[in-house]
Structure 1
Amino acid sequence: MDVSQAVNQRISTRAFLDKQITADEVRDWLATAQRAPSGGNLQPWRVIAVTGAEKQAVIDLAQKKLAEDPRGERTDRPIYPKDLWEPHEARRRKVGEMMYEKLEIPREDKAKRIQWFSRNFRFFDAPLAVFFVIDERMGHGQWAHTGMFMQTLALLAEERGWGSCFQECWGILRPTLKEHFGLGESEMLYCGMAVGYPDPDHPVNQLRAERADVDEFAELKGF
């Protein structure tokens, strides 16, 4: 598989097969991704990978906290900016409707939509869950480099026949997860990631989000 193929076929996988990934495979995957770009070689990321009982403990914790308040815990780093503007808000809504269309869950069936959304906090039943941690003292550049590391992991997952789904939704439980994982005083959990072998027959994995044409976001000058 070449890089272009990996980029083209990567999707947010939301249904997985009951097939495990070994510790040796995870270590090799993480080590290979360490060649991702890192300004000044700071390597500002930290990773916590959980499976089995450790993953279930996180799921149970999430269920308990969200039962107390479905909105989760207060955060000064929301998933999306307040009052998201166009065309970004339209894109966000469109991909959501595309997903529910694949799942055949109509807009008026709020209960089923909520039930499906709750699968986020079970990692969509993926065998492996990965959390990305960054020190809050890091600047915007280090956040960008952490994102490059995350993208590298997603592409390497494709090469291995795995699927992945980045899950910023875990950010609504940052205080609880900080305590659960015993993070340092200035450390924060940024994002989760569900990883495993994709279920090729599940309709949600047929979703392919639309992307803007190059001319919508790029200017080519001096050519």
Structure 2
Amino acid sequence: MILDVYEAVTSRRAVRGFTDRPVPREVLERVLSAAAWAPSGSNLQPWHAYVLTGEPLVELKKRAGERVAACGAWDEREYEMYPSALQSPYHERRSAFGKERYSALGITRDDWEARQRAASDNWQCFGAPAALFCYIDRDLGRPQWADVGMY
């Protein structure tokens, strides 16, 4: 099957609900092999990818679920995900996304407990049968973060 780049980009979507059907190893290898063609400054290829399936993934989800259920303090963030004062139009886009996502789940803005439960789905990988984690060495900088993003 040949897919043109424009079609691939415009048909992209975020998925937050998966079947439990296993992903064949060959498919995972093919995806990672294709990703390795991503550009990187001076060809550093700074990414490290880890794939979890089967029992290791079940164990990770179990531990994450236990930690979320314990309602303990979260680890201090090493890096902020968003600027503390998110400016326009980004603030509005983020708010619109949150409203759309939680509305689709039947969760009202003031139902903090339901919102937390929905957020904890992240730690369950939204039910996916495979999880890919990308890492970068701590001594590399933001340009290499962009390389990992393209990967």
Which moves more between the two structures, 65-74 or 48-57? 65-74
Query: Partner residue of 2:6?
Result: 4
Give me the whole-angstrom Cα distance separating, in 2, the residues matched to 1:83 and 1:75.
Answer: 17
Read off the aligned partner of 1:100 and give its amino acid letter. Y
Give the Cα separation in 1 of the matches to 2:70 and 2:104.
31
Determine the C-alpha separation between the residues in 1 that align with 2:78 and 2:134: 17
Deviations 1:20-54 (A, max 9, x none): 11112111211121111011111000000001111
> Identical aligned pairs, as a percentage?
34
Deviations 1:186-222 (A, max 9, x none): xxxxxxxxxxxxxxxxxxxxxxxxxxxxxxxxxxxxx
Q: 1:62 — aligned with what?
A: 64
Contact 1:45 1:146 in 2 (8 A): yes
- In structure 2, the partner of 1:110 is 112
What amino acid is the match of 1:26? L
Q: State how 1:14-163 maps to structure 2 within 5 Å.
A: 14-69=16-71, 71-149=73-151
Task: Kindly tell me the number of residue pairs found equivalent between the two proteins.
Answer: 149
Instruction: For structure 2, list consecutive stretches of 5 or more residues without a partner in the other structure.
Output: none
- What do the CA deviations read for 1:101-124 (whole angstroms, capped 9, x no partner)? 222222233332222221111011
- In the alignment, residue 107 of structure 2 is paired with which amino acid? I
How has the CA–CA distance of structure 1 residues 69 and 108 changed in structure 2, closer, same or farther, with 3 Å as cutoff? closer
Query: Hey, what's the Cα distance between the residues in 2 that align with 1:65 and 1:75?
Result: 16
**Helix, strand or coil at the partner of 1:132:** strand
The amino acid of 2:82's aligned partner reads Y
Correspondence list, 1:130-209, <5 A: 130-149=132-151
Q: One-letter code of the match for 2:87?
A: W
Gaps of 5+ in 1: 150-223
Cα distance change, pair 66–38 in 1 and its aligned pair in 2 (3 A) = same
Separation (CA, whole Å) in 2 of partners of 1:110 and 1:140: 34
Contact 2:49–2:135 at 8 Å: present in 1 too? yes
Alpha-carbon offset, residue 71 of structure 1: 4.9
Higher relative contact order (CA 8 A, sep 6+): 2
- State the alpha-carbon separation in 2 of the partners of residues 62 and 70 from structure 1: 12
**In the TM superposition, what is the alpha-carbon distance from 1:130 to its structure 2 partner?**
0.7
- Structure 1 stretches of 4+ with a deviation exceeding 3 A read 67-71
Secondary structure of the 2:95 match is helix
Structure 1 residues 91 and 49, CA, compared in 2 at 3 Å: closer, same or farther?
same
